[in-house]
Every structure is written in C-alpha cells, then in structure tokens.
Amino acid sequence: MTPHPSRTGTPARRRALSRSRAIALGAVPVVALLAVAGFAPLPYSVARPGQTTDVLGTHGGGEVISTSGAAVRKTSGELRMVAIQATAPTADIRVGEVIEGWFRTDRAVLPLDAVFPSGRSEAEIAQHNVADMKSSQRAATTAALRFLHRAPDRVKVRLRLDDVGGPSAGLMFSLGIVDKLAGDGSGGDLTGGRTIAGTGTIDADGRVGAVGGAPLKTQAARRDGASVFLVPKAECAQVQPAPQGLRLVPVTTLNGAVQALRALAKGGPVPGC
C-alpha cells in the first residue's frame, strides 16, 4: 500500500516539518515571558522633572533661609533648587512604562537600587532622605559661613525645606545664604536679578559633588523660568544638549559658583559646558 502523502511524504519534507514544529514550539517560552513581563512589576523606577523651589523665597509658610545674629539683605532674582520625581520602590512598573521611558526625553528609567537604598521599607527610605537633607543643610551652612568669614557661633542659619529629601540642594542653599548675607560683595544681588537654577551636593569645605537626574533637572529649571543652570562639572556631558534658552555653567566649588555668578551679572566671561 502506498503511504498517504499527508502522513509521511519524502524524508526531506519530514525534516522540514520537524524543524517548523521545533521553531514554533521554541517560540512559546519567549511569547510567554513577554506576556508575563507585561503584567509583572519590574525592578525599575521611572523619574521625571520635579519641583523647583526658590531658596531666596518662602516655602511651607516661612522663609526657606532665615538667620539670626546678622542682617539679611533684601534680594531680587531667584535661586532655584531642583528636584526629580521618581516612582516609589513599591510602585508596579510595567514593561510598557519602561519601554516608553526609554524613548522619552522627559523620563528616565533607573534601576531601583540606583534611586533608593536597597533592602529598606518606604518609611526607612523617607527617613534616610530626610537625614541626607539635614546633613546637606548643615554642610551648606558651614560652607557659606566659611566663605563669608562669619563665625558660626554668632550667625545662626535656619533652612526650611521639609518636603524634599536628599543632598542635591546643598550648592543652592549655600548660594542662598551668601546672597542673603552679602550679595555679590559689591552691593548688588548674586543673581543679577535673574532666575538661576542649579544642583549639586556640597561639603563643609565648599566642594561641589555630582548628583543624579541632572538632565531631568535642566528641564524642570527651564520650565520654571530659569535662564542659567549651575551643574557639577563632572556632569556637563550628561546635560547636553540643554533645553533651549538655558545656559549651562559648570562648577566644582562654592567659590567658583560665586565667581561665575558675579561675572555673569557684570557681563563678563563665564565658563560653559
């Protein structure tokens, strides 16, 4: 009896059919994984431009910077610290959000452990961020008073910004203290009347350190009217190209930031990224 062609066929045909089945079956785990990934939360946080706050102004019902033991100047212009807004570590981040974030310039997809301390609850992370902010405020105050040659036992500075965590506002706090107590050193404002934004950690000796999310912060700064953005020099490459109308000024120290703002106010040469 002649075998039915639909059951057997030539050896070559049987091998081709076998390969087709193998390919089709081999694709099942991949499809299944993609389907699971679409519904399972992923270990990422999606960040976007956050709030900006003028450290020369008020926030939460009081002055961001207040002092005792020294006269405070009336200032013009703004010095804006900038934050990013990141999804919480317990947020359900899906594959669609991650893919979308990779293709958008106003989003950044970051590994969770690059944004939040690993192995901690949300409450512990919040406490950690507050502790970082308080430490940053102390360093910013010390750096500013040292720059101005003011004795910390005579001049007391209080910084109020309770709803933002982390150390990245240090530079702007120091500049705000300098502007409120001494201005540009020649009777004018350190801002030159402009809206200046910036980011960067600072230590007690006035050294400026890099921070995360600088490209997103430039977007928030421009959105809120800044024309100049002070950025840690090590992050110059990350923030380019800058949003249209925003001038990038790299800094490494508080002294360098003050000198750059003085030159900017006078129309002198200022370093750029």
Walking along the chain (273 residues) 10 residues at a time, the average pLDDT comes out as 47 46 39 43 88 95 94 95 91 88 88 79 81 92 98 94 84 98 95 97 97 94 98 96 97 98 94 94
Structure token digits, residue 197: 């934004």
Structure token digits, residue 211: 């921070």
pTM of the model: 0.81
Q: How far is CA 246 from CA 184, 240, 260, in A?
A: 22, 11, 15
Q: What are the sequence ranges of the domains in the chain?
A: 49-86+117-266
Residue carrying the six token digits 């380019």: 240
Q: Which of 167, 198, 173 is nearest to 52 (CA)?
A: 198
Q: Does domain 49-86+117-266 have CATH number 3.30.230.10?
A: yes
To the nearest 10°, report the CA torsion of 27, 33, 39, 41. Answer: -160
